Amino acid sequence: MSFVEYGDTIKDGDTAIVFLGHESMFPVKVQHGTITQTKYGVIRHSTDLIGKKYGSKVTCSKGGWVFILHPTPELWTMNLPHRTQILYSTDISMITMMLELKPGSIVCESGTGSGSLSHALIRTVAPTGHLYTVEFHQQRAEKAREEFREHGVEHLVTVTNQDVCKNGFGVSNIADAVFLDIPSPWEAIGHAKSALKAEGGRICSFSPCIEQVQRTCLAMEEYGFTEINTLEILLRVYNIRTISLQIPDLGKAAEGNSSMGFDSSNPSSQGSPCANLQQGTVQFKSGVPLREMVGHTGYLTFATKS
């Protein structure tokens, strides 16, 4: 099993996604002899999972059923264990596009955090690219290494435990792109410039506060970056609902006919709209925004190495 290569069959040691519904799913490590409890009953890994195809419908001990899905970066973002606050698909999609990433790209990232963006970057640059990710916290760095190994992508990523603001990324003049998600990104702009290739490399900094953005932009200008721009991605979700509206009472049909010049004795006027109009309600579908939704996540500042 690998997050960048699809496999048909569930194997011992795989990470799989147990899908109970669009709002209810969780990851599980498949192990021979292990069981997993769900609200629909027990799933026995040896008999219910190992050897079955991904996407299979599995019946639990209480008679309910779940689907077992192959892991992807998108599903992992929705289900990963949170060691830090993470980036979600809305920001991740813009980052991968604006950094102009493709298979074979070399990317530097700091910090690794819970690995949400890391998995998406690895999938984007695979099979010939590489991710160099730096994490200041030792335990988080070790956990990230373990997850990358379990997910079959350790050959595409190098995890380093150090302070990027003091020691940089550990590489020079090879990166196509750099991503910063740290409290003081302006302190790492110089190291980011050193890691980027000689000309044309892209940089992105994620910051929740506009004061961080201002200092980062000043540092980018100081180090000669161009095309500096800041974006904020807001997602607005709509619910489709059935709306009932009352038809207005426009008076009697006869009065309507006379006022409009219709002759009620004329057969040609019997099929007019006014003749069939009656007071009541009509139903139609309407898109309504959610009452509560995710708002500001952070500002994305992009620039190009000149």
Q: Is 224 annotated as a binding residue?
A: no
Q: Identify the three-state secondary structure at position 262.
A: coil
Q: Is 163 annotated as a binding residue?
A: yes
Q: Which residues contact 18 (CB under 8 A, 6 or more apart)?
A: 25, 26, 27, 28, 36, 38, 43, 66, 67, 68, 69
Q: pTM, whole model, 2 decimals?
A: 0.84
User: Any idea which residue has 């990104």 for tokens?
Assistant: 185
* pLDDT tens-digit readout, 206-220: 999 999 999 999 999
Q: Which residues pair with 225 in a beta bridge?
A: 305
Q: What are the structural domain ranges in the chain?
A: 9-71, 75-234+295-305
Distance (Å, rounded) from C-alpha 96 to C-alpha 104? 13
Q: Is 306 annotated as a binding residue?
A: no
> By percentage, how much of the chain surpasses pLDDT 90?
77
What DSSP line would sit under 277-296, residue for residue? --S-EEEEEEEEE-SS----
Q: Identify the three-state secondary structure at position 230.
A: strand
Fold of 75-234+295-305: Rossmann fold (3.40.50)
Task: Kindly report the average pLDDT of the chain as a whole number.
Answer: 90
228 C-beta neighbours (distance < 10 Å), count: 15
pLDDT at 199: 84
Cα of 23 vs its chain's centroid, Å: 15
* pLDDT tens-digit readout, 150-195: 999 999 999 999 999 999 999 999 999 999 999 999 999 999 999 9
Q: Work out whether the CA dihedral 173, 175, 180, 182 comes out positive or negative.
A: negative
pLDDT at 276: 44
More confident residue, 43 or 253: 43
pLDDT at 264: 46
Distance (Å, rounded) from C-alpha 217 to C-alpha 230? 9
Q: Which residues contact 164 (CB under 8 A, 6 or more apart)?
A: 110, 111, 134, 136, 180, 182, 188, 191
Q: Which residues contact 173 (CB under 8 A, 6 or more apart)?
A: 194, 195, 196, 197, 198
Count of alpha carbons within 13 Å of 156, Cβ hemisphere only? 26
For domain 9-71, the CATH architecture is: Roll (3.10)
Residue 23 pLDDT level (bands cut at 50, 70, 90): confident
- Determine contact, residues 68/18, Cβ cutoff 8 Å: yes
Q: Is 181 annotated as a binding residue?
A: yes
Would the pLDDT of 277 be above 50? no
Q: Is 115 annotated as a binding residue?
A: yes
Tokens of 301: 């500042």
Q: Which residues pair with 138 in a beta bridge?
A: none
Q: Is 249 annotated as a binding residue?
A: no
Sheet with 202-207, side-by-side order of all strands = 157-161, 130-135, 106-110, 177-180, 202-207, 299-305, 225-232
Count of alpha carbons within 13 Å of 216, Cβ hemisphere only? 29
Q: Is 91 annotated as a binding residue?
A: no
